[in-house]
Amino acid sequence: MQQTQRLFPVLLSLLSLLLLAAAAVPRLDKDFNENYRDDIVNSRDCSVPKRSSVQEAMNELFTCLLETHVQNTEVFRLARQIDFGGIAGNGVTQKPLLTRLYSIAKVTAASESYRRYFDVVSIFTPELGQDEVRGSNELALEAAYLAHLLSTPFIRDTYATLRANNAIDAAVSLNQFVYGIMYDHWFKLYARTSKAHAAGRRESSGFGHVFVGEVKTNDVTGFHSWLQLLLAETQGNFDYKGYVRIQDSSVLIGGIQFSWMGRSKSLSSVMFGVPPEFELALYSACFIVNPGRRTNLSIKGRPVSVQTFYVNHQPESVATAYPIV
């Protein structure tokens, strides 16, 4: 009986999310190529048909997505001007990392992608040990973000490529991929530890950990989003301590040290200047193809590696995902 009582709020929240999602977008269970939104209908199709390996297909896919939808944007080009200052631990006070180049107003004006991100991060609670709240407002923002993801070429072309290369079942529709598989990966709540799981905690999620960050006692965990870094720096609760390693490849990846909300992290890898949909597509593909392992890719002929981990007591959910630097 107690287990049923604990499950009831979860089932009610999921039902509410599905109802909100159904109201937010039309059904797209037909061939997804017939349902592109008007604003992307003329975009280059980056989906990759069957290849000799799914890794080969992923290399082609993310090279195309980067070239077509990312590398020519002002936000991406500006990232190459980031001054990472000195090496972490050299005792020198560092200047702000991003607010000298970017502002929230500037990036949200550049693309709907960034506005949608800043809307949805507001629903997450960074403090571990506190259950996440999912009332009607939070569920509406979550549903709106999932609907936005479904409309983007990043997610649609990733879905098509994974399906064509047998990484997901051919019977899975685009709706099922976004509202089922990706929801479970990124938004389904869980407890961070087995002890918290036994206590019925719903304190964390893949998206909250990776794209927002979490804090416990003296430490920061997760926090792999450059947009969250920009937000935290703007709010005045982020102190950049210097870089550990920099990988200037097809995308700029920085291994940085910092404190946030008075807690510290000695190394966090961050991919700079890319839209969150690109990262979500990349990390989701790696999680599906190599759950809990390292995936080595070649994007624009340059090496990019991603590490994923799954939640032991909820293996359909992302524990963390990040670029290796």
Which pLDDT tens digit goes with each residue over 113-142?
999 999 999 999 999 999 999 999 999 999
Q: 28 or 166: which carries more pLDDT confidence?
A: 166
Whether residue 279 contacts residue 152, with contact meaning beta carbons closer than 8 Å, is answered with no
The answer on pLDDT for 166 being more than 80 is: yes
- Give the pLDDT of residue 28: 34
- Give the pLDDT of residue 43: 63
Whether residue 207 contacts residue 187, with contact meaning beta carbons closer than 8 Å, is answered with yes
The fraction of the chain above a pLDDT of 90, given in percent, is 84
Mean pLDDT for the stretch of residues 270-299: 98
Mean pLDDT for the stretch of residues 84-97: 91
- Give the pLDDT of residue 90: 85
- Give the pLDDT of residue 92: 82
Confidence of residue 168 (pLDDT cuts 50, 70, 90): very high
Region at 261 (left for phi over 0; alpha for psi -120 to 50; beta for the rest)? left
Confidence of residue 16 (pLDDT cuts 50, 70, 90): low
Whether residue 153 contacts residue 65, with contact meaning beta carbons closer than 8 Å, is answered with yes
The answer on pLDDT for 95 being more than 60 is: yes
> What are the pLDDT digits (tens) for 220-262?
999 999 999 999 999 999 999 999 999 999 999 999 999 999 9
- Give the pLDDT of residue 206: 99
Query: What span, in angstroms and rounded, lies between the C-alpha atoms of 128 and 191?
Result: 9
- Give the pLDDT of residue 174: 98
Confidence of residue 207 (pLDDT cuts 50, 70, 90): very high
Q: What DSSP assignment string belongs to 133-201?
A: P--HHHHHHHHHHHHHHHHSHHHHHHHHHHHHTTSS-TT--HHHIIIIIIHHHHT--B-SSHHHHHTT-
> Structure tokens of 76?
């991406």
Q: In terms of Cα–Cα distance, which of 281, 321, 288 is closest to 305?
A: 321
Query: What span, in angstroms and rounded, lies between the C-alpha atoms of 135 and 260?
Result: 27
Measured from the Cβ of residue 293, the count of other Cβ atoms closer than 10 Å reads 13
Mean pLDDT for the stretch of residues 93-105: 96
> Structure tokens of 77?
């080009």
- Give the pLDDT of residue 110: 94
Per the prediction, the chain carries an average pLDDT of 90
Confidence of residue 320 (pLDDT cuts 50, 70, 90): very high
Whether residue 63 contacts residue 302, with contact meaning beta carbons closer than 8 Å, is answered with no
> What are the pLDDT digits (tens) for 24-50?
443 333 332 333 233 343 467 999 999
- Give the pLDDT of residue 289: 98
- Give the pLDDT of residue 33: 34
Whether residue 168 contacts residue 181, with contact meaning beta carbons closer than 8 Å, is answered with yes
Whole-model pTM: value is 0.87
Query: What span, in angstroms and rounded, lies between the C-alpha atoms of 26 and 191?
Result: 33
Handedness of CA 234, 237, 243, 248 (dihedral sign): negative
The answer on pLDDT for 91 being more than 90 is: no
3-state secondary structure of 121: helix
Confidence of residue 93 (pLDDT cuts 50, 70, 90): confident
Whether residue 208 contacts residue 191, with contact meaning beta carbons closer than 8 Å, is answered with no
Q: Say how many domains are in the chain.
A: 1
Its domain, for residue 237, covers: 2-323
> What are the pLDDT digits (tens) for 47-85?
999 999 999 999 999 999 999 999 999 999 999 999 999
Helices (DSSP H) in the chain: which residue ranges?
2-24, 54-69, 74-79, 104-110, 112-120, 136-151, 153-164, 174-176, 183-186, 194-198, 206-207, 226-235, 276-289
Q: 193 or 276: which carries more pLDDT confidence?
A: 276
**H or E segment and range at residue 272:** strand 263-272
For residue 299, list its beta bridge partners.
Answer: 302
